[in-house]
């Protein structure tokens, strides 16, 4: 059995479970029971789910066709901003308490077609904002799991589900994946359809996946999207890696700085060509442009809720929307032009490199549930629309640290292959 062991904590490897179904060692129903046992043991403490239907998941697992589907009937959870016809979809807001969409989001429908068994909906922050949720980090319940895909990352880390969907507008896949010690894959912009997903900022929102390891998220994405994204068939080739600290480097913790530098040394020793580069100063401006675009679009994405039900929006988000309303159309247009220029500059900067290696977060998960952490090391890459992968394997005490692989737009498989190379090199060296 190849389930991932992280400091004594078992996670369910989707790829391993699928292989065991293929080999007749496991049935889709037995896979559901593995999740059900973990949910019974850990959900009361972690609080990763907002809706669950284990009985329906068990019934669905009995369908004879599932064992022959790409996902082999494995349980999958969805962040509660994806519409689901058979679960409430409440977007983390009391405004939508009990809301039942008539149709599944496209990503949900494609997951079902691929043989995914939808087990439930995971906790999200209010309208996928920075407002904290009550979900706790499975490695230490006194710490945040990150946000806004808090429940999805925590559910995978606690072995309650092998695969879960989240979304990223600033850093909401990569950061919680890093905080929870799992692989997180934010594909190229709009590779996963967002039809039926609540908008936050339509030029930034990107659906992504959480799994135990890099090969697991690649397997899931390949299965659901019917694309050549799997990376488990052969050993990945040594990539050309650009080490990028970014201008936020002084704000990274000492443990995070050490993790990144160690990852670079380990990758180089394993055969990767690693060279440190400095990004053009204009890319620093793009970080501010991401704030402008996200805020301008979010106040419009939530216009109806704010106008009709403003009293039911939390104080922190309401104040954020009020500030965002002051951004002019001219400022927004200028930010989009800055982003467009930055994408061209980034392509030039990566001309001699396959991927970038950079921090996934400033450090380990902050203590307490008053913050989901800072997405400072994610905003730029989301704005660029680039594929990003959190590679787990490092720790600061009992809390995980992740390093981030950033690929070229549309080169998602190359990013996943490089991430797998780095993940395996770290595991061999550190015994993770």
Contact 145, 203 (CB under 8 A): no
**Which residues lie across from 158 on neighbouring strands?**
none
pLDDT at residue 5, as a whole number = 42
User: 30 exposed, middle or buried (CB, 10 Å; 0-12, 13-18, 19+)?
Assistant: middle
Distance of alpha carbon 161 from alpha carbon 123, whole angstroms: 14
H or E, element range at 7: none
pLDDT at residue 289, as a whole number = 97
DSSP state of 312: G
pLDDT at residue 1, as a whole number = 33
Helices 329-349, 282-301: crossing angle, 10 deg rounding: 140
Our CA angle for 176, 72, 162, nearest 5°, is 20
Report the chain (432 residues): mean pLDDT per 10 consecutive residues. Answer: 49 98 97 98 98 98 96 98 98 97 98 98 96 95 98 98 98 98 98 98 98 98 98 96 97 98 98 97 92 98 98 96 97 97 97 98 97 97 98 97 98 98 97 65
Residue ranges and CATH numbers for the domains of the chain are: 4-237 (3.90.1300.10)
Single out the residue of 139, 81, 75, 117 nearest to residue 400, CA to CA.
Answer: 139
**Which residues lie across from 172 on neighbouring strands?**
none
Contact 230, 218 (CB under 8 A): yes
pLDDT at residue 284, as a whole number = 85
Distance of alpha carbon 301 from alpha carbon 143, whole angstroms: 30
Helix (H, G, I), strand (E, B) or coil at 185: strand
User: 208 exposed, middle or buried (CB, 10 Å; 0-12, 13-18, 19+)?
Assistant: buried
Structure tokens at 121: 């909906």
Our CA angle for 81, 83, 87, nearest 5°, is 100
pLDDT at residue 10, as a whole number = 82
Distance of alpha carbon 331 from alpha carbon 323, whole angstroms: 14
Residues near 183 by beta carbon (within 8 Å), at least 6 away in sequence? 177, 210, 211, 212, 213, 214, 216, 217, 389, 390, 391, 392, 419, 423
Query: pTM for the whole thing?
Result: 0.97
């Amino acid at each position: 059995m190849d389930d991932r062991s992280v400091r004594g904590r078992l996670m369910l490897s989707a790829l391993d479970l699928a292989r065991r179904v293929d080999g007749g060692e496991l049935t889709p129903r037995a896979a559901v029971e593995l999740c059900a046992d973990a949910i019974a043991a850990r959900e009361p403490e972690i609080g990763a789910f907002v809706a669950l239907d284990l009985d329906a998941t068990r019934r669905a697992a009995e369908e004879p066709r599932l064992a022959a589907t790409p996902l082999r009937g494995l349980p999958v959870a969805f962040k509660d901003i994806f519409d689901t016809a058979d679960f409430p979809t409440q977007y983390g807001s009391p405004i939508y308490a009990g809301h039942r969409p008539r149709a599944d989001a496209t990503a949900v429908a494609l997951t079902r077609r691929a043989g995914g068994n939808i087990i439930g909906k995971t906790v999200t922050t209010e309208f996928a904002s920075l407002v904290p949720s009550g979900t706790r980090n499975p490695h230490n319940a006194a710490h945040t799991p990150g946000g806004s895909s808090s429940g999805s990352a925590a559910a995978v880390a606690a072995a309650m589900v092998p695969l879960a969907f989240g979304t990223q507008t600033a850093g909401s896949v990569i950061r919680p994946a890093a905080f929870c010690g799992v692989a997180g894959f934010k594909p190229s912009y709009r590779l996963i359809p967002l039809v039926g997903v609540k908008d936050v900022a339509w030029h930034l929102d990107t659906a992504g996946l959480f799994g135990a390891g890099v090969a697991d998220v690649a397997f899931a994405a390949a299965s659901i999207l019917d694309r050549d994204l799997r990376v488990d068939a052969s050993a990945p080739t040594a990539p050309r890696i650009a080490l990028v600290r970014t201008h936020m480097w002084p704000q990274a913790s000492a443990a995070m700085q050490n993790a990144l530098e160690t990852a670079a040394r380990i990758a180089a020793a394993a055969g990767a060509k690693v060279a440190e580069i400095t990004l053009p100063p204009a890319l620093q401006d793009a970080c501010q442009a991401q704030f402008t675009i996200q805020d301008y679009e979010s106040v419009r994405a939530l216009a109806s809720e704010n106008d009709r039900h403003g009293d039911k929006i939390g104080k922190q988000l309401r104040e954020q929307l009020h500030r965002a309303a002051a951004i002019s159309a001219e400022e927004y247009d200028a930010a989009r032009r800055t982003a467009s220029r930055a994408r061209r500059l980034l392509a030039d900067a990566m001309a001699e490199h396959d991927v970038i290696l950079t921090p996934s977060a400033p450090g380990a998960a902050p203590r307490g549930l008053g913050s989901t952490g800072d997405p400072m090391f994610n905003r730029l890459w989301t704005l660029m629309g680039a594929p990003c992968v959190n590679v787990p394997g490092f720790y600061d005490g009992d809390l995980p640290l992740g390093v981030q692989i950033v690929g070229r737009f549309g080169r998602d498989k190359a990013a996943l292959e490089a991430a797998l190379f780095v993940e395996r090199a770290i595991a061999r060296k550190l015994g993770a």
